[in-house]
Structure 1
Amino acid sequence: MNTIKLFIAVFLLSFGSLAQAQNSITFKITDEETGEPLIGATVYASATMGAIADNNGLATINNIEEESITVKISFVGYEAIKSTYSIPYQGKMPIEIKMEHHHEEVEEMVVTATRTSRSIEDIPTRIEFLGAEELQEKAVMRSANIAMLLRESTGIQMQVTSPSSANQSIRIQGLDGRYTQLMKDGFPLYGGFSGGLSIMQIPPLDLRQVEVIKGSNSTLYGGGAIAGLVNLVSIRPEEEALTKVMVDQTSAGGTTLNAFYASAENRWSYTLFGSGHRQTAYDANDDNFSDLPETRSITLNPTIFFKPSKTDEFRLALNGTFEDRWGGNLNAVDDREPNAQNYLQENESRRMSYQLSYTKT
């Protein structure tokens, strides 16, 4: 009898251990949208219990001794799932686990087909601004041209390219003057042919502000703006009429007369600007060679605005510059004729251009 009881006890202990050893749980892990098995998904219960999904997406945890188990199922790019199951598990096996993609908010990305990788309005372009107050100060000091106005800006050099004619070019960041674009009211000045003497032929009296862009951003305005660009913004007419008259006489024999008028009447408005400059040949160091050339110049710049409605505007601007310069030996300047002993450089400029634009707000 004792032998039978011992046999029964050993059998029950062995059966209980076998049943306990056979407690397991199996998961089938798939993608919720496609149903494809997620190979390599991990099932984690504790430091000693876990499994990795095989080629069929099956992962099994064996030898579970606890009455319940909490598992965390995860896979790269998917939302992790955490669940608790009673052991032994009485439901259908394998347990279907459908995982959703991990939705992560990313910053807005803009892809464009313009010359830049971002919208132009979002580009932090540095623009140097010269306002009306500074323009008026420089106009009093030098009313014949804008050379002095630009000379005092950082990174800009006014290089004299011809001592005889006092020709100057704008060098921005060390690049040659032909790489600087001159614009007026957003249009290339003189139709894009503004190099050479143009700096000495632009009076500042009718300007409201000057904008200077240095660096590569200015190349959006063309190949002639590699070094930078200078945009001259004219005064716009307002309801109250504006009149400016300036007469300038220098100790070097230069006389300048500038006149500007702006008025607005209903749909029509206009500005009128005229400038005359006369300079006698000036020899500062008594070497019989002109340090300032003899100059005769006239500049006319009328502009007409027409607004058929509050949102539409037509603008027509004319620009004419007529100038003659004579520089060199004073004898040749007086005679207007060079010879073997006397050098003469003569510049004759006839610049005529127009700007026609339509703006809709």
Structure 2
Amino acid sequence: MKNLFLVSLFMLVIAPVFGQTNRIIRVEDSLTHESIIGATIRTSIKPIIGAVTDVNGVARLNNLPGDVKSLTVSAVGYETESFPITVTSDTLVFRLKSANEVIDEVTVTATRTNSRIDDLPIKVEVLGQEDMDEESAVVPGNVSSILGDISIIHIQRTSAVNGNQAIRMQGLDPKYTQILRDGLPLYEGFSGNLGVLQIPPLDLKQIEIVKGSVSTLYGGGAIGGMINIVSKSPTSEKPEFTALLNHSNLKETNLNAYYSQRYGKTGLTLFSGYTNQQAVDVTGDGFTDSPQIKQFNFHPRFFWNPTDHTKLDIGYAFTNEHREGGYLPALEGSQPNAYRNITDLQRHTIDFNASHNTSETNAVTFKGAVSTFHRQNTDYQKLSDGRQSSVYLEANDLTRFGKQQLIVGANLTVEAFRKNPDSTRLVDYTYSTMGAFVQDDWQVGEKVAIQAGLRVDHHNTFGNFLLPRLSVKLKPSEPWTVRLSVGTGYKTPNLFVNQTPGALNVSLIFPRLLPIDVATVKAEKSVGANVDIAFAKSFESGFSVQVDQAFYYTYVNTPILSAFASTSSNLGAYTQLINAPYNLFSIGTDTYVRLEYKAYELYFGYNHTLARRDGPTDNTYLPLAPQDKFSTTVAWENDHFRFGIETSYVGTQYLYNNQKVANYWFFAGAAEYHYNDHWRLVLNAENLFNVKQANYETVVSGPVTQPSFRPIWAPLEGRIVNVALKYTL
């Protein structure tokens, strides 16, 4: 009995000692995984025990009581978080998220590393959530307007009657800009020919713009730049619901709705939108300057996080559209034999993204998409009818070790076009590309970071391509950042991506296109270089300044262009694709200035580009590529109102054979009223001074049954005024 008493007394004395443990804790940035110096770690219950991380982001907690189940971690510029203590390891790794009000938390998904925008060696411009929220009420029908506000991007209208638009970057033709949706190249070939920019912004999180040659990332096509359109994800277990109604003087009505919510380990986003636009003849020449459009979009996405290490999201996107333009009496039925351009299309896409963190320093991702695109078009009373099936699959492995991030992966792209019975000479084809890529992001020191990439592609028709790329970021001092990038690219021949004719009067309508002669037409290859110097600083007074000066150069060998063929039809000479007897080059500067002070905001952008042919006998400027573009925005906002004025100038623009056209200014203004954090009323006016190409020249000529259209180099619709009502739950 005496012995039992002594044993019990001994256990009571030593129990507090054996119940205590020593823990080594490392605190990292949640995005970059870099060490956080000076982070405070403490218990949340008494007795309070704490420590501060050293220069390696490491702290030691000695004599930690055994009943402590969690630790609170805080650091300047980061959100304070509480982390559970695992029993299995003496060394714990805690990752903090940076605070939105102190550090820019915008992350970029297009580069696959989900890095913070400031940490990337490659220059990326992001239009964020606030921009998308504003644009969804100002121009709710599409994203072309907000993209056109950026000085280095020029929105080119490619048809006088059907309203189709395309993007030019760095003065190059639209085919050299690659468009992604959630990191997936869904708009290639036939499926990218119409309506890509008709994506409504309501369910978008951000748009990422990568300037210059980045074909190493996703394969051929990103020679002038790449644009990644990123969808929203559910962020809260409270439901988010937004509904929007818009109407314009061009008889366009938009009705859009978005819903988002998390349910524990699952989540859902759902977007649905309808656009009804009537055909309008603005200039009085009898032809539609704004086409008839009836479009329906449906986009649900499902999210599942079965564990903290595994994520899966699956989405479905459906678009159905009827578009009709031409001679207005023909559309109204009074002159059925006059010219009409009628398009019916359907797009179905299923996409997925699955990722699993196999360890704290390794993540495996598998993503892809399967889509079908069916389009029927009647032009000059000739029918073209085709369907494209597309597949994109990618697997990659991201490993972080020390100050490096290494990503290795492979992808498969399939583009299968099948022609239905119609009046064209198009033929079926199947293109497939197998690619492998490796990219290493290395933070050499506090002032130097390097990103090196290499891609190898094999195209089943046009052969093999080797694409190296190198980017360097220098940080000479805190407010300054310098980025240098050199990359290569390629573009395979495709009938459906040459939105700009190679010469005046060469037609790109489907009934005049001849199949590609794969024995003689070769892929284009390019090399490009970008230099970017940025200055960003915030002051205690609330004033902040951001200045960005970029320089770029791109050279394209033997570009593919559309040319007259020797054969002809009742519509005129057929069109064939050939390799040009010249090369192309684009050289320019891009200036970006953003000033903010309390409720005021000023943006200024200026782009100067010289894009021309480089051949023994042909050195003309590239058509429809403005050499000067100036953009500015002034905005003021308080708790209930926001006012903004936008101005842009387009100058030194040439058509074919160095034929210069007039310079013009473009003004826009918007006023918003916010009520009770739920309602937003927006009045927006685009092209306030009613600038139209018809003010300078006749756009349409010839008989109403076989009209001819001038190249489009200025707005056609004139002034556009719209009123939108937006409700957010």
TM-score if structure 1 supplies the norm length?
0.63
Is residue 251 of structure 1 aligned with residue 249 of structure 2?
yes
Corresponding residue of 2:353: 357
In 2, the alpha carbon distance for the partners of 1:255 and 1:120 equals 37
**Aligned-pair distance for 1:335?**
2.6
Deviations 1:153-205 (A, max 9, x none): 12111111001001001111112212211112111235776523233420000
Corresponding residue of 2:311: 313
Deviations 1:263-318 (A, max 9, x none): 11012111000010000001112221111001100011000011111110111111
Q: 1:206-225, aligned counterparts within 5 Å?
A: 206-225=203-222
Corresponding residue of 1:345: 341
Q: Which runs of 5+ in 1 are unaligned?
A: 1-118
CA 1:359–1:186 in 2, change beyond 3 Å: closer, same or farther? same
Corresponding residue of 2:294: 296
In 2, the alpha carbon distance for the partners of 1:186 and 1:206 equals 16
2:328 to 324, 330, 337: 330
In 2, the alpha carbon distance for the partners of 1:120 and 1:321 equals 29
**Contact 1:278–1:297 (Cα < 8 Å) also in 2:** yes
**Contact 2:143–2:199 (Cα < 8 Å) also in 1:** yes
AA aligned to 2:324 is W
**Contact 1:256–1:275 (Cα < 8 Å) also in 2:** yes
Q: 1:1-361, aligned counterparts within 5 Å?
A: 124-190=121-187, 195-239=192-236, 240-335=238-333, 338-339=336-337, 342-361=338-357
Is the strand fraction higher in 1 or 2? 2
CA 1:156–1:165 in 2, change beyond 3 Å: closer, same or farther? same
**Contact 1:294–1:333 (Cα < 8 Å) also in 2:** no
CA 1:123–1:139 in 2, change beyond 3 Å: closer, same or farther? closer
**Aligned-pair distance for 1:146?**
0.6
**Aligned-pair distance for 1:327?**
0.3
**Aligned-pair distance for 1:123?**
6.5
**Aligned-pair distance for 1:353?**
0.9
> Secondary structure, in 3 states, of the residue corresponding to 2:221?
helix
**Contact 1:190–1:353 (Cα < 8 Å) also in 2:** no
Could you say what the CA RMSD is over the residues aligned between the two structures, in angstroms?
A: 2.2
**Contact 1:201–1:321 (Cα < 8 Å) also in 2:** no
Deviations 1:65-112 (A, max 9, x none): xxxxxxxxxxxxxxxxxxxxxxxxxxxxxxxxxxxxxxxxxxxxxxxx
AA aligned to 2:177 is T
In 2, the alpha carbon distance for the partners of 1:313 and 1:337 equals 57
CA 1:191–1:337 in 2, change beyond 3 Å: closer, same or farther? farther
Corresponding residue of 1:41: none
CA 1:169–1:227 in 2, change beyond 3 Å: closer, same or farther? same
CA 1:168–1:156 in 2, change beyond 3 Å: closer, same or farther? same
CA 1:329–1:175 in 2, change beyond 3 Å: closer, same or farther? same
In 2, the alpha carbon distance for the partners of 1:261 and 1:168 equals 29
In 2, the alpha carbon distance for the partners of 1:338 and 1:312 equals 59
In 2, the alpha carbon distance for the partners of 1:211 and 1:336 equals 47
**Aligned-pair distance for 1:357?**
1.7
Deviations 1:26-48 (A, max 9, x none): xxxxxxxxxxxxxxxxxxxxxxx
CA 1:292–1:200 in 2, change beyond 3 Å: closer, same or farther? farther
In 2, the alpha carbon distance for the partners of 1:257 and 1:251 equals 16
AA aligned to 2:294 is R
CA 1:272–1:285 in 2, change beyond 3 Å: closer, same or farther? same
In 2, the alpha carbon distance for the partners of 1:246 and 1:146 equals 16
Larger Rg: 1
Percent identity, aligned pairs only, is 37
Deviations 1:213-258 (A, max 9, x none): 0101354211022221111111110222211100001111010001
In 2, the alpha carbon distance for the partners of 1:133 and 1:193 equals 33
CA 1:331–1:223 in 2, change beyond 3 Å: closer, same or farther? same
**Contact 1:178–1:195 (Cα < 8 Å) also in 2:** no
> Secondary structure, in 3 states, of the residue corresponding to 2:307?
coil
Is the deviation greater in 279-288 or in 132-141? 132-141
In 1, the alpha carbon distance for the partners of 2:316 and 2:189 equals 15
AA aligned to 2:286 is N
**Aligned-pair distance for 1:211?**
0.5
In 2, the alpha carbon distance for the partners of 1:235 and 1:191 equals 23
In 1, the alpha carbon distance for the partners of 2:258 and 2:330 equals 36
The aligned length equals 241
In 2, the alpha carbon distance for the partners of 1:218 and 1:211 equals 15
> Secondary structure, in 3 states, of the residue corresponding to 1:187?
coil
CA 1:312–1:247 in 2, change beyond 3 Å: closer, same or farther? same
**Aligned-pair distance for 1:137?**
2.1
**Contact 2:215–2:221 (Cα < 8 Å) also in 1:** no
**Aligned-pair distance for 1:136?**
2.1
